[in-house]
Amino acid sequence: MIGTLERRSFGDGVYVSVLGVGCSRVGSISNPVPMREIEATLEAAVEAGVNLFDTADIYGQGDSERTLARLLRRHRDRMFVVTKVGGRHGRYAGVVRLAKPLLRVLARSRPTLRGAVVAARTATVAHEFSSVDLHQAVEASRRRLGLDQLHGLLLHSPSTETLRKPEIHDFLGELLRSGKAARVGASIDSLAALEVAVSIPALTILQAPMEVAKALSGTAVLECVRRRDIGLFVREVLPKPDRGIDETHSLRETLSSAIAQDLTTAAIVGVSTRQHLNELLCSIT
């Protein structure tokens, strides 16, 4: 274990580590890291004090949630898993999942094929926020994660129009009343969507890109987030691999900005290897 990882509370007093592990590429065909190393990295994260894990029902055609379920069976009391619903793969997602072992081997040896797979997958993802589809998605996530009550459930990239719908407010409230989710919220992509999301009575978690979170500084919306004790998780914290982090803006500075006490509850970063995990932990502890 590297140092002591800070934890922060929100809502009803749940505590999460300031560093959360993003699991969007867990089980993904496009991820060149072997699943054995990915699972070892997730295990190492728990042992290092990370308890926040972020996933979604569409990540890895559901395999991200299934992988976390195996980790939960060993560390249920040491994990806070947030999943997302509202995304939907195309009709051939099931076939892709069955062929995934072969596709992963091919993609690992042929970078151009990996890029084509990512592009094809992205093109077939749609968003569906009807009440029927959302309830079915919640049941499927509970089953894959092996949880009667989801720790955290977010709407996945809803539009401002979706967030304004009374049936969406009712859906999130019903999840809390039924006990199917302990905390609910939205993973948004824009400042406009965030401003609408904070008006939802049941909402206790927000996830947003780092640039959107920064735009909240000094605003009435941020004061509302603080007053309601909403957990604010930021993503898209690190530059893309092809851009890197220059010498004047180190990894330590980047993460310190992301987890500034007066702004966010935690930063979510995708991690696939133990070396990368150790670099992140060393930068914040």
Asked if residue 281 belongs to a domain, the reply is no
The answer to whether residues 65 and 144 touch, using CB atoms and an 8 Å cutoff, is yes
CA distances, 56 to each of 49, 82, 241 (Å):
22, 8, 22
Q: Is residue 252 part of a domain?
A: no
Torsion angles phi and psi, residue 238, rounded to 5: -95, 150
Q: Which residue has the higher pLDDT, 115 or 269?
A: 269
Q: What is the pLDDT confidence band of residue 233, given thresholds at 50, 70 and 90?
A: very high
How far is it, in rounded angstroms, from Cα 134 to Cα 31?
28
Which residue did the predictor score with more confidence, 21 or 107? 21
Residues near 131 by beta carbon (within 8 Å), at least 6 away in sequence: 167, 171
The answer to whether residue 56 scores a pLDDT higher than 80 is: yes
Predicted confidence band at 32 (pLDDT cuts at 50, 70, 90)? confident
Q: Per-residue pLDDT for 36 more than 80?
A: yes
Whether 19 has a pLDDT exceeding 80, the answer reads yes
Instruction: Answer yes or no: is 193 within a domain.
Output: yes
Per residue in 172-228, pLDDT (tens digit) is 999 999 999 999 999 999 999 999 999 999 999 999 999 999 999 899 999 999 999
Tokens representing residue 230 in the block: 């909403």
Q: What angle do CA 137, 138, 142 make, to 5 degrees?
A: 120
What 3-state class would DSSP assign to 134?
helix
**Greatest mean pLDDT range, 79-93, 122-136, 207-221:** 207-221
Over the stretch 246-279, which tens digit does the pLDDT of each residue have? 544 688 999 999 998 788 999 999 998 999 999 9
Residue 284 dihedral angles phi and psi, to the nearest 5°: -125, 0
Instruction: Quote the domain boundaries for residue 175.
Output: 7-89+128-246+257-273
98, part of any domain: no
The fraction of the chain above a pLDDT of 70, given in percent, is 83
pTM for the model: 0.88
Number of domains in the chain: 1
Of residues 238 and 180, more confidently modeled: 180
Tens digits of per-residue pLDDT, 130-148?
999 999 999 999 999 999 9
Task: Give the single-character DSSP code of 6.
Answer: -
pLDDT at 125: 73
Model pLDDT, residue 4:
76
Q: What CATH number is attached to the domain comprising 201?
A: 3.20.20.100
Burial class of 102 by CB neighbour count within 10 A (0 to 12, 13 to 18, 19+): exposed
Strand-pair partners of 20: 52, 268
Task: Kindly state whether residue 173 falls inside one of the protein's structural domains.
Answer: yes
pLDDT tier at 242, thresholds 50, 70, 90: low
112 is a domain residue? no
- Let me know if residue 285 belongs to a domain: no
Q: Let me know if residue 106 belongs to a domain.
A: no
